[in-house]
Amino acid sequence: MRKTIFMLAVAAFCCACNVSVNNPDEKSYENHDWGDGNGNDVAVELRLSPQQEQILLQSNKFSLSLLRQVYENETSKENVIISPLSASMALSMLMNGADGETLSQMKEVLGLGEWTNEDVNEYNRLMLNALPRLDTCTQMTLANSLWLQTGFPVMENFVSNNKLYFNAEVENVEFADPKTADLINKWAADHTHDLIKEVVNENMIRNCVTLLANALYFKGVWADKFEKEETKDEDFMSGKGVKQVVDMMHKQAEMKYRYLSDKKAQLLELDYLGGAYCMDILLPAEGLDIPTMLASIDAEEMPKWEDKYWPEREVWTYNQETGEEKTAIRRNLNEVKVQMPKFTLRYSRELNKDLMALGMTDMFDDFKADFTRLSTIPTYVSLVKQDTYMSVDEAGTEAAAVTVIVAEATSIVVPKIPEMYMNRPFVLFIREKKYGTILFAAVIGNPNEK
């Protein structure tokens, strides 16, 4: 069964060393509905150290691995929508409580094996603070929370690190109380503009001792919108091979379009107003399956697509009325006719099996899990779940994701000492040990018999 895949919008990152403030891009200010933005008067430029660039690269590799894994193992839905950023941030919070082989497996799957926990925490703190402020036009928020069972002993460093680096809200609750699920769901709704209202139910968290949650919200306006008048009913062949009629947006313009001969796919990059975020769309050639195309995508190449396929060039202009001459920087765009369906979709998935398939196995095993930096009481992960929402129309994109991780205390089992009480008839042999020569054989049915 073919399925449609979506990843939440990818940021276009810059390089160097820290966070600095730039003036917002002044192009395209007119004739656009900016939305509410984030209330930022100026945009923040994300700058990464060489080490943080490598962490980002490995994080993107995890993103692609998780997408491939989920897509190839989705059996009931034709659409797959995930937020690797939300998942990796929630798992990074959990790493602050992991140790030993459990920690090693988590770092290996997330691509973080080369770096210390402090390196990873600092990277996440930078992303948490910078991503929502990359431009003045896009609404983008990240939030984290930590829910603790009242009376359950939790390591102080686990809580303090997640508060310091992830700005996690900390709540002490009674997970057995049905109202706790309502509180967690309200937190999810509050941090996704009511797009995701239910992420847990009381049965999911009844035995929970620690719950970690990440919420991500994104709302971006196209830099060059689709005209509503051009949207028409068109045929769409679903992943199951069923033809259906959808609202299809139309546009013909110079755009960031490229046919990738090596991947046998068409690539379209749509910018959001403000310039910090974009949507990359890959359409495989007819006859090419999506897993094959996904396998060809290189995480290291993705950030380079814009400069590689649409390089900047200097353009000279002359104003006849004023006689003014000036130059401007433009990208080499391609004239293309685009048809793109409007859609509003929801997706929910338990990620336990996917993460285990990628190599995170011990944390789900109630005997092998090592969360000794979380609590003195043995703890394991019973559930990793993500809920997503995405809506695309002529104006832009609105998307949200919530990832929750449920940890439970391991039932402490004291090994039972075997009991062999010979209080009924039994058999015995007296034998030579090396070769087993039997010297005596007996059945003892009554030790008191004379």
- Tell me how far apart the alpha carbons of residues 293 and 306 are, in angstroms, rounded to a whole number: 19
Q: Would strands 438-444 and 426-431 be described as parallel, antiparallel, or unpaired?
A: antiparallel
- Domain assignment present for residue 326? The answer is yes
Range of the domain at 332: 1-421
Give the model's confidence band at 449: pLDDT under 50 very low, under 70 low, under 90 confident, else very high.
low
> Which DSSP letter does residue 272 get?
B
Average pLDDT over residues 268-273: 88
Q: For position 360, which CATH number holds?
A: 3.30.497.10
- Domain assignment present for residue 112? The answer is yes
* Alpha-carbon dihedral angle through residues 111, 116, 119, 125, given to the nearest 10 degrees: 80
pLDDT tens, 182-216?
Answer: 999 999 999 999 999 999 999 999 999 999 999 99
Average pLDDT over residues 404-417: 73
Q: What are the Cα distances from residue 147, in Å, to 57, 67, 95, 175, 403?
A: 31, 28, 16, 9, 13
- Tell me how far apart the alpha carbons of residues 66 and 84 are, in angstroms, rounded to a whole number: 7
- Domain assignment present for residue 337? The answer is yes
- Domain assignment present for residue 363? The answer is yes
Give the model's confidence band at 296: pLDDT under 50 very low, under 70 low, under 90 confident, else very high.
confident
- Domain assignment present for residue 86? The answer is yes
Note the pLDDT of residue 446: 62
- Domain assignment present for residue 434? The answer is no
Given a cut of 60, whether residue 18 has pLDDT beyond it is no
Note the pLDDT of residue 148: 96
Q: Would strands 324-331 and 334-341 be described as parallel, antiparallel, or unpaired?
A: unpaired
Note the pLDDT of residue 274: 87
Note the pLDDT of residue 24: 31
- Domain assignment present for residue 428? The answer is no
The share of the chain scoring above pLDDT 90, in percent, equals 50
**How far is CA 160 from its chain centroid?**
23
How many domains does the chain fold into? Answer: 1
Q: Residues of 409-432 as b/e, b for ≥16 C-beta within 10 angstroms?
A: beeeeeeeeeeeeeeeeeeeeeee
Q: Residues of 192-229 as b/e, b for ≥16 C-beta within 10 angstroms?
A: beebbeebbeeebbeebbbbbbbbbbbbbbbbebbeee
**Token couple for 223:** 């830099």
- Tell me how far apart the alpha carbons of residues 128 and 136 are, in angstroms, rounded to a whole number: 16
Average pLDDT over residues 206-229: 94
Task: Give yes or no for a contact between 354 and 66, defined as CB atoms under 8 angstroms apart.
Answer: yes
- Domain assignment present for residue 432? The answer is no
- Tell me how far apart the alpha carbons of residues 177 and 329 are, in angstroms, rounded to a whole number: 60
